[in-house]
Structure 1
Amino acid sequence: MNVRQVVPKDAIPSVDDPTFGTEYVGDDADDVLVVESDSAPAKAYPTRILDYHEIVNDALDDGDGTVPIAVTWCPLCASAIVYERTVDGRRVEFGVSGKLADDDLVMYDRETGSEWKQSTGECIAGEFEGRRLTVRPAATTTWETFRDRHPDGVVLQPPENARSEAASDDDAPAPVAYDGRRPYDGYFDGDGFGLAAHRGTADARSWERTDLDPKTVVLGLEFDGEAVGFPLPRVRDAGGVVTETVGGVDVVVLATDDGIHAFEDPGHGFEPEPGGGFRADSTVWDGATGEAADGRRLTRLPARRLFAFTWQDDHGPDAFFD
């Protein structure tokens, strides 16, 4: 693992006192990371805002109490992951270290200074070294889908007077215009991957395989020591539905117009429905929410949504559904 300091610590500021509302500054097609709760409105965290902050320290009301969570986003890896931020019974708060590990965000906790690789949730240095954060179920979808599926949902509001290195041409934080051009647009549209591709430097990484593009969107599942990444194009090529067993857990992975989603598989035998959705057990199910027309709901699984090159960095070249 190659760990390096790229920008100063906290030059990309985490959001530690998030506020929510119903108005959004971006576009319908913008990706948002969605966290649902049985006892509170769903929350959307737009990547348009996360580009400049990468971490939101928040809390989730799950009906049995408040669960501290960290909503995390690494733009270079397109890795959108929600973690519980309790370690060994201690509540921690995360910030952006300014370091990268294999082109992935390195977070640090403000309680001990320990450093954590964002894509795996593993502590790679410090008091908590070797510990792993618990992944929470979350979905990556579009703002349009979130607004349609969650009419009572709320969205993260842009922090006031924010400054971030991501808004700057150098390492010094600059004022953020959340409704302007996004800092990683060129990177997402380009062929390369990692920091070198983003900065246009000569030390670009190589990619040997031809069956997957390094920036293929993958949904990664990991249970009981087994890790399988489901590339979005492969799920779509399979008709939009893949069933598999990962670490003893039966899963169904559904590809929709807005992304890719994983749920516990109840064994219904899902088939794509003309006009949208998936038919199973005498009703139609929404692949983005897991909700059926008759009111039933699938159980969303904890997952990591990220680029293929990062999943391969973390789990090796054979850890993909084929």
Structure 2
Amino acid sequence: MAGAVVILGGSLLMTSGPAMDQNDLLDWSAYDFPPSPPPDTGPSDPATILMYVLSDEYPTSGGSPAEAALNTVVRRRDTRFVPVLIELVRANQLSVSRGAGLEANVAALESLSGRSFGADWPAWVEWYGRTDLRAPPGFTGWKGRLLGRIDPGFEEFLPDGVEARIRVEEVLWGGVSVDGIPALDRPSVLPAEEAGYLQPGEPVFGISIGGESRAYPLRIMDWHEMVNDVVGGVPFSLAYCTLCGSGIAFDQRTADGMAFTFGSSGLLYRSNKLMYDRQTRSLWNQFTGEPVIGDLVGTGIQLRRLPVVVTSWQAWREQHPETTVLDISTGFDRRYELGAAYGEYFASPATLFPVPVRSERLPPKERVYGLTVGDASVAYPVGVLSSRRVTNDVVGTTPVALVATRGSLTVHPDGAGADSVYEAGGEVRAYASGGRLFRPGPDPGTVLDSGGGEWVVTEGALLGPEGERLARLNGILSYWFAWFEFFPRTTVYSDG
């Protein structure tokens, strides 16, 4: 007799029941093949073999035994197969696996889960992300093999037995192949005065290290999402998740002397891109700079964030007249126009991929500037920061000052309709204030302390009138849903 299904607080759990054995799977004699593992996979656990049967890894002259396998799963009420069926529903929709067919897989999924989402795959993914369910043994290798039908590179990322610190069940295909969104490696750059393709008000990522400054226009970054570059002698990767609205710069070097370059895996986790390093092909969380699947999991490696700001091209040039900027001749054939790649997504209030963990404290795609200090995290709505211009606060026990004196950044792209906008957040920098209180200064590049002393806003520090230096803090500009996904204990700053 199978274990019982219990629903507690919206989470579906499977109580313990007797383990499957080979004869409990199905009547193998009904098919013209022996009950041996699929080629090159070697699974031996009966539940593992059953997954491969469900995904048509046992082709026979008499057809697929997937329907009989599906009946076995339902009969035994084995909820470990809920994530398997969610994968198969998507595989049916993408025509990469037929198995028992979409209708049969959906019916089995609804029977096992007690939910009625039909063929609404995003709803299944979001629901599953809020449960404590676990997949059968061998699920990672099976999923890698299934995704490998789209691109063999996915199978390399998800071999059987690979270390993982996230639920592999929640790793999703993002609609492109490995490096289908190609990184820019040491791209060609231009002096500012030669970059005639840029509008003064359009958004750029700005990075300044060791006295050297460079701008990375979003009209180009939207198409590439990753740059491996060197500025001021520091090798870094600018990892940009368009889905999350977050561009984060990481030092490629680790404390133990390792160095990595990165590409886009084509896979997602909770609507955030999973980047991969080219040295070990481990998958990394773009938001935290940590390896989450692969050989580097458990090593304690976490990339160091570097200061990056989103601002207008004109404002960046005024602050850094010596800056260089990406050459629009990248070597790739892309429509490098502002908003051409993701303009509709940026303008929409909706997310594109499933987001299992949500908070209604803010709209999902409201822009926030997130700060973490120790175990404390705070999300600052960019609209609030822009209206205040200078915000004094405390994160945990650390006094901070956030400077947003140039307001929010919204652009109407050339050639687009009057209602078309490209919203990119705003120019925000945060500093450890040491308890000093600041207010806006006479121009966007300065702030005043409580005594009227004038401080200069720079990329590395807030510079005081007597040579004081208040260190820059590396925050993240992103959509609210993304910040909350990875910092669920965050507080939200209120102007009240």
Would you say same fold, with TM above 0.5? yes
2:393 corresponds to which of 244, 254, 259: 244
Identity of aligned residues (%): 29
Give the secondary-structure state (helix, strand or coil) at the position aligned to 2:306: coil
| 1:2-32 deviation line (CA, Å, top 9, x unaligned) | 2112210011110112222123323222221
- What residue identity is the alignment partner of 1:71? L
Distance 1:287 1:307 in 2: 25
Distance 1:48 1:59 in 2: 21
How far apart are residue 316 of structure 1 and its match? 0.8
Distance 1:97 1:221 in 2: 27
Alignment pair present for 1:218 and 2:368: yes
Distance 1:225 1:85 in 2: 24
Shift of the 160–58 alpha-carbon distance from structure 1 to 2, 3 Å rule, reads closer
Alignment pair present for 1:261 and 2:432: no
Q: Report the equivalent of 1:45.
A: 216
Alignment pair present for 1:71 and 2:238: yes
Distance 2:448 2:331 in 1: 48
| 1:61-90 deviation line (CA, Å, top 9, x unaligned) | 2xxxx3221111111111011111123421
- What residue identity is the alignment partner of 2:447? F
More displaced stretch, 112-121 vs 287-296? 287-296
Distance 2:436 2:464 in 1: 15
Q: Report the equivalent of 1:27.
A: 199
1:80 corresponds to which of 242, 247, 267: 247
- The residue correspondences of 1:267-282 to structure 2 (distance < 5 A) are 267-273=435-441, 276=444, 277-280=446-449, 281-282=451-452
Q: Report the equivalent of 1:90.
A: 258
Q: Report the equivalent of 1:160.
A: 330
Distance 2:339 2:246 in 1: 20
How far apart are residue 48 of structure 1 and its match? 1.4
Give the secondary-structure state (helix, strand or coil) at the position aligned to 1:44: strand
Conservation of the 8 A alpha-carbon contact between 2:219 and 2:338: no
How far apart are residue 114 of structure 1 and its match? 0.5
Ranked by relative contact order (alpha carbons within 8 Å, sequence separation 6 or more), the top structure is: 1
Alignment pair present for 1:5 and 2:166: no
- What residue identity is the alignment partner of 1:157? D
How far apart are residue 273 of structure 1 and its match? 4.1
Gaps of 5+ in 2: 1-166, 408-425
How far apart are residue 278 of structure 1 and its match? 2.9
1:57 corresponds to which of 228, 248, 254: 228
Conservation of the 8 A alpha-carbon contact between 2:457 and 2:463: no
Conservation of the 8 A alpha-carbon contact between 1:16 and 1:56: yes
Conservation of the 8 A alpha-carbon contact between 1:47 and 1:73: no
Shift of the 186–208 alpha-carbon distance from structure 1 to 2, 3 Å rule, reads same
> Counting strand residues as a fraction of each chain, which structure ranks higher?
1
- What residue identity is the alignment partner of 2:216? Y
Give the secondary-structure state (helix, strand or coil) at the position aligned to 1:51: helix
Distance 1:282 1:246 in 2: 25
Q: Report the equivalent of 2:379.
A: 229
Q: Report the equivalent of 2:316.
A: 146
| 1:97-129 deviation line (CA, Å, top 9, x unaligned) | 001111111100000001011112121101111
**Structure 1 vs Structure 2 CA RMSD:** 2.7
- When Rg is computed on C-alpha atoms for both structures, the one with the higher figure is 2
2:270 corresponds to which of 93, 99, 102: 102
How far apart are residue 306 of structure 1 and its match? 1.0
Gaps of 5+ in 1: 163-174, 197-202
- What residue identity is the alignment partner of 2:343? D
How far apart are residue 250 of structure 1 and its match? 2.9
Give the secondary-structure state (helix, strand or coil) at the position aligned to 1:263: strand
- What residue identity is the alignment partner of 1:225? D
Q: Report the equivalent of 2:208.
A: 36
Give TM-score scaled by structure 2 length: 0.55
Conservation of the 8 A alpha-carbon contact between 2:248 and 2:308: yes
1:136 corresponds to which of 287, 306, 309: 306
How many residues in Structure 1 have an aligned counterpart in Structure 2? Answer: 296
| 1:178-205 deviation line (CA, Å, top 9, x unaligned) | 1365211111111212x24xxxxxx787
- What residue identity is the alignment partner of 2:251? E
